[in-house]
Structure 1
Amino acid sequence: MRKKTDKALTFTVESSFYRVLGINKEGEKVVPPYEKDYAGDVPLEEKLKDLKEYLLQTGVDLKGFSVGTYVPTRHGILRMYTFPGTLKKHELTKAVNLYIQQEISETFADKDVVYAYAILEREKDEPYRVVVTIIEGEVYDALVAFAAELGLRLEVVSFEPICVINFGLLKNLPQPFSIIYTDLNKILVVSYSREKILYEVFPYVFSTEGGFEETLNMLIWDIRNYIVLNDLTNLYLAGIVLEYEHLTEYFLERLPIFGILSLEKFPERYSLLYTLGVRLLNA
């Protein structure tokens, strides 16, 4: 059993940027929110080296912090499987592992992977629902090694769509719910209910400059089609566009958005890191 801590350090390393945030039990910053952007896709090792240098420069003693990260969507998959509630425990375990191995052979044929699964709580007469996460082993190993170089243990390696779902749960959204999460390099649409999880990535280079409408119009058309085809309801807007009033209005005018999912304490782009920090501190 790990020792309870009152500080959490969370970070993520994307294709063209990294972010880091440290919070305490009160949700206040202990490591200032920081983001470094790169021109284009930079090797993971280089970004982790820069992040290490930044953390050392802050002068913050990281000893005693709970540490977590989430892996970007492009480096993994998330699935929910349903199994008959009549299965015995060993039968369920065998079935889950068979599904996972099939998924690995189809999606990650030439790559090492790391996977985990969780069996959701259920009523006695309900089927089993199992949430499976599979991520690339090379990415996982690099993140664990990075933490070790700082003398830290990486306690949680989450997955971006899971963090989006947890953000909705943290905000007590009624289920089912769907979240349009916006970031510097993508728009991620995630839908969650007890019966299923859906998500889709729409690649996008974020810009606040004039002329963004032409690119966004095509993207929003695709997002709207995805929403209609999958009958998504209870839609919330989250992420970086909420930092800009004109972009927020742009999305609200063009998509059937029910509400806004705002972080409030920090810039909106840190929503997922904050959510992960809260999870660490309440584990």
Structure 2
Amino acid sequence: MGRGSYLELMYRMWNTGEAGSRERADGRKAVMIALGTLMLFGGGGGLPFLEDAEDVATGFGQMLGFNWNAKKARQDFLERTFGRELAQFMDKGLSGVPGVPIDVSGRLGMGNLIPGTGLLQEKTSYTRDYMEMLGPAGDFVSRVAEGGKQVLGGAVTGDASKVMRGAMQMAPKAVANVQKGVEMGFSGQYKDTRGGKVSDVTTTEAIMKAIGFQPSSVADIQEGNYLRQQAKNFYNMKSQEIRALWAKGIAEKDQDIIARARAALKDWNTKNPDQPMVANLPAIIKKAKELQRDKADRIAATAP
């Protein structure tokens, strides 16, 4: 049953029976209990449509030139107002309580009900959003493609561990979880799909992973890394856009274009004072010289 189906079920429960009847009252009581359970296990971050609204707000902020993330802003506000421990509970429910080994907020939350809202944001890749729109089939295709690439790469280089990682990525989720849990138990580490260490884990966390639950410590690290990487990517994208515009102005000897680039740089630094951007003039001049060369020459100059 998809998350949208859960929402439709609550709608039917809310409107069941005749107005004023005991059945209508019981149905609405059941909906409130369901939402209370959702809040307890998934936290406020799992409320219906919250993640979708945050995607829209983040995308709108980016359009205005702010390197800002609505989800991180919400989490930071809760921590400043209520302290880290209480903020974690409010955001993630029981998963945010210190000492709880597993994260269930992602599974029980209904914040992401509208697929593809991430397309409203400026990113270096929209693969994750397109796969989300395809649902389970998209996830399967993505895992097979990535896993198959690792298997082929490992087979060519003779890297058996890479072949195994690729095979597990293509395997059914339950099988992959068992394998991952066993690996965590022996190594004492949680590793990403490329074999890089994410964090140290306990035996309890390894067992929880084997039966299908993500360790809370790992979930927190991955979420934080994702938000930081997203901010870094947006910064780099805007930096490249401004430098490319500046280089174009120099190459075409157009002072209006150069003025637009300077204004864009000033606007960024005004709106994002904690993420200052500087004009790397030597790199911009080099880019301008490249723009004045024929395309074939530019490609030849960068060829190995």
> If the TM-score is normalised by the length of the shorter chain, which range does it land in?
under 0.3
Greater fraction of residues in helix: 2
Structure label with greater radius of gyration = 2
Greater fraction of residues in strand: 1
TM-score with structure 2 length normalisation?
0.25
TM-score with structure 1 length normalisation?
0.27
Higher relative contact order (CA 8 A, sep 6+): 1
